Structure 1
C-alpha cells in the first residue's frame, strides 16, 4: 500500500485525505498482527509437540544407553574374576595406598560389599583433620577394621589457622636437606602438601577446600543414611552454627580418643601429631592400659606447650605394670614423660624432645639410655639440662648407628660418656660453649673409630646459628684434623662456622697450609655438602670455587690422585644464608654439580638449580 503524497502547506482537502489514509493503514496493521499471532501460535504448538516428541525419544535413548552400560558392565572381563582374585587386588592396592578402601568401597555395590568384608584394608588409619571436623570418621574406620586386625594409626591434627599452616608449610619446604633432622618425621611435615593429601584421608574443613590437590574426603558426620548405609559425602560443617562448631572443637579429642583407646589392645603402631595446643588436649590422659601388639608409639607437638605431669602411659611409675612387650620405637616430642617410666625400656629407636619446663639431670638421661641396651637410633633434644647428680660412667651402646643430640650445652658431657662402636650418623645441634672437635675426636677414639658416613653440626632447622655461641675459636678450630678422622664421610652439613677454613680443608691437599707432609684428601667419599649461616670473609667465594674445582673438575673428570686416593665428585651442594655468590658463580656451580640449592642471605629467597634455573 503506497502512502499518499503530502502537499506543503497542508490544506483542508489534503488533511482529510491523510485522516482517511491513517484509518485504513491502522486497519491493515491490526489485520496483519492477527495473522502473525495466529502463525506464531501455530508454530509454538508445533514446537511444543516436537519438543515433547524429542524428549520422549531422548528418554527412550537414555534407557537404552543405560541398558547398554549395564550389559557392557555385565560382559566386562572383571566380572569373570573370582572374588578371591579381586580380594587380592584390593590387598595390593592397600599396600601402596593405605586409604584406598574408601575409594574401592565407592565404586559399586558389589565392590563395597567385598571391601567391607576385608577388615585388613581398613587397618591403616591415615587421617589429616582439624578439631572442628567430626571424630566419627575414626569410629567408622575402627568399626570396619573388625575386632582382631592389628591397627596402624597415623592422625595429624591441624590446630593452627590456615595462614599459620601455610607459613609452617612454607618454612618446612624452604630449606630441604638430605640430612635427617633432630625430629625426623615432624620437621618435614607440611600440612596440606601433596605428600600428605595423596596418602591420607583429609577431613573437610569448615569452608571450601584451600587446595586443588586431589584428596580422599572422609564421610560427613551429618548423615549416615546413604544408599549404602554409610555416611554421605560432603561437609556439613558449613551448615552448622558457630556455637555447634565450637562445641565440636571442645570435645573432638575426648570423642576421638574414646574410640581409639577402646581398641588399644589392637594397636600395632600409633602416631598422633598436632601443631599446637588444642582445647581437648587433656584427652591424651586416657592413653593407658595394655597394648600387647604395640611396636611404635609417637605423640608429638610442634609447639612447645607447658603441661603438668599427666597420668598417662609415658608418665607411669617405675613400679607400674606396663604391658608393652613388643614396643621398640618411641617418639615423644613436647609431651610430658617420666625418665623412669617402664615405657622407656627395651627400645630400638628412641626420639625424645623435652618440654622447656623439663630439666632432667644428665645421669637420668644416661639412665634412660642404659635401660635400652638394644638401641639402634637415638635422638635427644632438651633445652634444659641439669648437672649430673650421680657420677657419670661410660655407657657402651653396641648397636647404635644413628645419634642426634640437640639443645643444652651440658649434653656434651653426655656425649663424652658414650661408646658407640658401630656409629654411622652423628647429628649435633648442641649449644656448645667451646670448640666441639675434641669431643667428637674423643668419641671416635673411645668407640674404636667407627666408620661414620654422616656428620651434621648445628645444621638443624631449629638450630639458627645466631643462637649458638662457640667462643673465639669458632665451631671447630682445626677442620683438617677433624676431617682426617672421618675418611668414610659421605654427608657433611655444618652451620654457624667460618667458611674459609672448612673449604680449605675440603679442597686440594696442596692448598691446605695445615698439611705439611703426608698429603691426603679430606673425606674422599664425600658426596653431599651443606652449609648454613656460615660467615665468610673476602675469600669465601674464592675458596668455594677452588674446592669445587679440585673435587669436580671440568667435563666430569676425576680429581687429582694424592697418595693413590682419588675423591668422589660432589653430587649435592646446599648453601643457606652464607654469602652472596652472584649469578655467574651460580651458573658455574651448576655446570660442576648436579644438584645445587642456594639461599641468598640478603633476599632470603631460595634459588634451586637442578637441570636449569628456576
Structure 2
C-alpha cells in the first residue's frame, strides 16, 4: 500500500497504460522499487522457512500416524473373527454362476495374496478349492488337421503344463470334497491330444470325487472319459457335454467311439445332464432318464445335420418323468405335425414335475402339441422364422389347449410367432409377471423384410402404444386388463413405443391406485431410433427409480451400423451416456 501511495504523485495515472516513461521517470521508478524488492525478498525467505517447518511437521505427523497405524490394525474387527466364520466369508466370495478361474484377480487365489493369515486360512479351507475352470487353448490347424505353427503348439504345451500343475495342487487342497470342474477347449473341431492329456493327468485321478463336470471339446477327445464306469464316479450328479464334430476327419479315424457299457452316464446320482452334439453322439441307451431333474439337449444351430432327431428326443422326454427343468433344440430337416403321425399323437409326453421349459424349434419341428406339463410356470420359446409360418403357433396351441397351466414367466423372440398369436398367448397367461422379448437369433436386417414374422408384425401391430395401454389402461376393468400381474418387462427388439406411452405405462403401474395392477420391479425398453434431443424421459422416470424401480431405456446408438449406414467401414466409437443409480440409458 505504501508503494502505491508513493506512485500516486507522478506516475499513478500512467500505470496500466501503454505510456512510454522518460529517462527521468525510469530512474524514479527504479528508486521507488528498491525498498519493495528488498521487502519481497525477505518475505520469500520467510515463506521458505515456514514451508520447511511445515514440511518437517508433516513428516513428524506421518511418522506418528504410521506408527499408530500398526497398532490400530490390531483393533480391526476382522482380525478377531473366528476361523470358521472367516472361512464362510471366503466361500461367499466365490463366483456363483460358474466355476472360479485360476486367475490371481479373483477368489480363491486372490485371497491368498492379502495377508499371511488369510493365505493360511484359504489354503486350509478345502471347500474353497472344490471347483475350478480349466481352459485349454486351441491349436490352429489347416484343412487336413495339421498344426499351422509348431512354435504355437509348443507354447500351448508349455502353458498347459503349468495349468496342469496348478490344477493338481488345487485338487490336493480340496481334501475329500466333491469336485466341480469345467474343462473348456475353445473352437475345438479336431481331436486334441492336449485335452486328452489334461483329462488323464488332472481329472481322471480324482474321478471318484467328481460331482459337477462340464466338458467342451471335440467329440473324439473325450475317449478317456468314455472309458470310465459308473463305479468310478460314485458322486457324479451333473454332467454337461458340449461336443463339436471334426470338420474334415482323417479317413482312418473313428470319431464316434461308443460309450463304454456301464459308463459314467449310468451313475445313479446323475440328475442333471446336458449334451450339445449331433444325434449319433448322444448315448440314448446309457442314461437313466427317469432320474434326471434337469436335461439340456442342443445341437449346432448352423447345420441341420448337427441336431438330434426329433423322434429320438420325444422318446427320451417320455422317460424323463422327474424333469423339473428342460432345454431342447429341435431339428429342422423334417416336418412334424399331428396329422399323419397317429402313433406320436396317441403317445403324449407327460412331465408332471416340469416347471421351466426352454425350447428352440426349427421350422415346424415341434413336440409342444404332445406335451402335458401341469406344473409348468416358465417358458422360454424361440422358433426359426420361415417364409410361410405355420399357423397357429405351436406355443399358442399349447397354451389354448392347456388352460390349467399357469405360466408366470414368458421369454420369447422376434420371429417366433405372429402379432395376433402373440397377443392371444398373453391372454392365456393372466398370472404372467415376467415378459421378455428379444430379437431372434436368425433375424437380420436383410432377412427380416422377407419374412412375415413377429419382427415386422409386432412392430406395426403388437409392440406399440396400444399394448402398453392394454397392460395398464387408464380406466381399469380387471376383465379387460392384459397380464395385470406384470412386474418385469423387457422389450429388446424393434418396436413402435413412444416415450410418452412408456412413461404413462410406468406411472399407471406405479401409482398404486388400482390394487389389481402389480407394481413394476424392472423395465427395459429398446426404442428403435436415435435418442431425441427434445425429450428427457430419464428425468420423468427418476422419481420411480428412487423408489426402487430398475429402469433401462435404450436407443439405437448414433453410430449404429447397418446395410445402408453412412458409418459403414468406419471404426465404431460409441459415445458414453450418463446414467443414474438404478437407471441406464443409451
Q: Compute the TM-score of the two structures, normalised by the length of structure 2.
A: 0.59
Deviation at 1:613, TM superposition (A): 5.3
Contact map agreement 1:598 1:606 (CA 8 A) in 2: no
Structure 1 unmatched runs, 5+: 1-67, 161-248, 460-467
Distance 1:511 1:394 in 2: 38
1:352 aligns to 2:352 (yes or no): no
Q: Report what 1:426 is aligned to.
A: 379
After TM superposition, the structure 1 = structure 2 runs for residues 451-466 of structure 1, keeping only pairs within 5 Å, are 451-458=406-413
1:286 corresponding residue in structure 2: 224
Aligned positions of 1:260-339 closer than 5 A? 260-273=203-216, 282-288=220-226, 289=228, 290=230, 291-300=233-242, 306=247, 310-311=256-257, 315=259, 322-334=265-277, 336-339=281-284
Q: Per the alignment, do residues 126 and 94 of structure 1 end up closer, same or farther by CA in structure 2, a change over 3 Å counting?
A: farther
Shift of residue 348, structure 1, vs aligned partner = 0.7
Higher relative contact order (CA 8 A, sep 6+): 1
- Highest Rg: 1 or 2? 1
The 1-side partners of 2:265 and 2:196 are apart by 23
- 8 Å CA contact retained: 1:361, 1:386: no
Counterpart in the other structure of 1:379: 327
Partners of 1:374 and 1:360 in 2: how far apart? 21
Aligned partner of 1:485 among 428, 432, 444? 428
Q: 1:401 aligns with which of 341, 347, 355?
A: 355
Aligned mates of 1:110, 1:571 — CA distance in 2: 43
Q: Does 1:449 align with 2:397?
A: no
**8 Å CA contact retained: 1:489, 1:523:** yes
Deviation at 1:78, TM superposition (A): 11
Aligned to 1:124: 131
2:175 equivalent to 1:142: no
Instruction: Determine helix, strand or coil for the equivalent of 2:236.
Output: coil
> What is the Cα deviation at residue 89 of structure 1?
2.8
Maintained 8 Å contact 2:490/2:524: yes
Is 2:97 aligned against 1:96? no
Deviations 1:423-469 (A, max 9, x none): 1111111125436665334322443432212212225xxxxxxxx5x
C-alpha separation in 2, matches of 1:565 and 1:456: 23
Q: Give the match for residue 180 of structure 2.
A: 152
Name structure 2 gaps, 5 residues minimum. 1-66, 95-99, 101-105, 139-155, 440-454, 546-550, 561-573
Structure 1 residues 260 and 484: CA distance shift in structure 2, 3 A: same
Count of equivalent residues: 419
Provide closer, same or farther for how the CA distance between residues 522 and 304 of structure 1 changes in structure 2, counting only shifts above 3 A. farther
Query: Quick check: 1:528 aligned with 2:474?
Result: no
Partner of residue 411, structure 1: 365
The alpha-carbon deviation at position 554 of structure 1 amounts to: 7.9
**Cα distance, 1:410–1:443 mapped onto 2, change above 3 Å:** same
Instruction: Provide the rounded CA distance (Å) in 1 between the counterparts of 2:78 and 2:402.
Output: 63
Q: Answer whether contact 1:377 1:402 (CA < 8 A) is retained.
A: yes
Work out whether residues 126 and 155 of structure 1, in 8 Å CA contact, stay in contact via their aligned partners in 2. yes
Q: Is the 8 A contact 2:212 2:238 kept in 1?
A: yes
Is the contact between residue 530 and residue 555 of structure 2 (CA under 8 Å) also seen in structure 1?
Answer: no
Once residues 378 and 438 of structure 1 are traced to their aligned partners in structure 2, the CA distance between those partners, rounded to angstroms, is 20
Residues 509, 519 of structure 2: 8 Å contact kept: no
RMSD between aligned residues: 4.5
Q: 1:376 touches 1:401 (CA, 8 Å); kept in 2?
A: yes
CA–CA distance in structure 2, aligned partners of residues 558 and 114 of structure 1: 51
1:424 and 1:453 in contact (8 A); partners too: yes
1:508 aligned onto 2:536: no
Deviation at 1:322, TM superposition (A): 4.8
Q: Is the 8 A contact 1:257 1:286 kept in 2?
A: yes
Q: Is the 2:380–2:411 Cα contact (8 Å) retained in structure 1?
A: yes
> Contact between 2:331 and 2:365, CA under 8 Å: does it hold in 1?
no
Mapped partners of 1:421, 1:607: distance in 2: 47
Aligned residue number for residue 26 of structure 2: none
SS of equivalent residue, structure 1 residue 483: helix
> Contact 1:333 / 1:353 at 8 angstroms: preserved in 2?
yes
Identify if the C-alpha distance between structure 1 residues 297 and 586 changes in structure 2 by more than 3 Å, giving closer, same or farther: farther
User: How far, CA to CA, are the matches of 1:548 and 1:326 in structure 2?
Assistant: 49
Assess if the C-alpha contact under 8 Å between 2:377 and 2:409 holds in 1: yes
Structure 2 counterpart SS, 1:364: helix
CA distance in 2, matches of 1:601, 1:108: 46
Please give the alpha-carbon distance, in whole angstroms, between the structure 1 residues aligned to 2:221 and 2:266.
21
The CA deviation string for residues 487-513 of structure 1, in whole angstroms up to 9 with x for no partner, is: 12222223424224223552334999x
Query: CA distance change for structure 1 residues 486 and 304 in 2, over 3 Å: closer, same or farther?
Result: farther
Go from structure 1 to structure 2 and tell me whether the alpha carbon gap of 1:110 and 1:344 turns closer, same or farther (over 3 Å shift).
Answer: same
C-alpha displacement at 1:558, in angstroms? 4.5
Distance 1:532 1:612, change over 3 A: closer
Corresponding residue number in structure 1 for 2:529: 580
Question: Aligned residue for 1:591?
Answer: 540
Residue 480 of structure 1, CA deviation: 4.1
Shift of 1:328: 1.3
* Superposition pairs of residues 36-47 of structure 1, within 5 angstroms: none
Alpha-carbon deviations, 1:409-429, whole Å to 9, x = none? 2333x1111012121111111
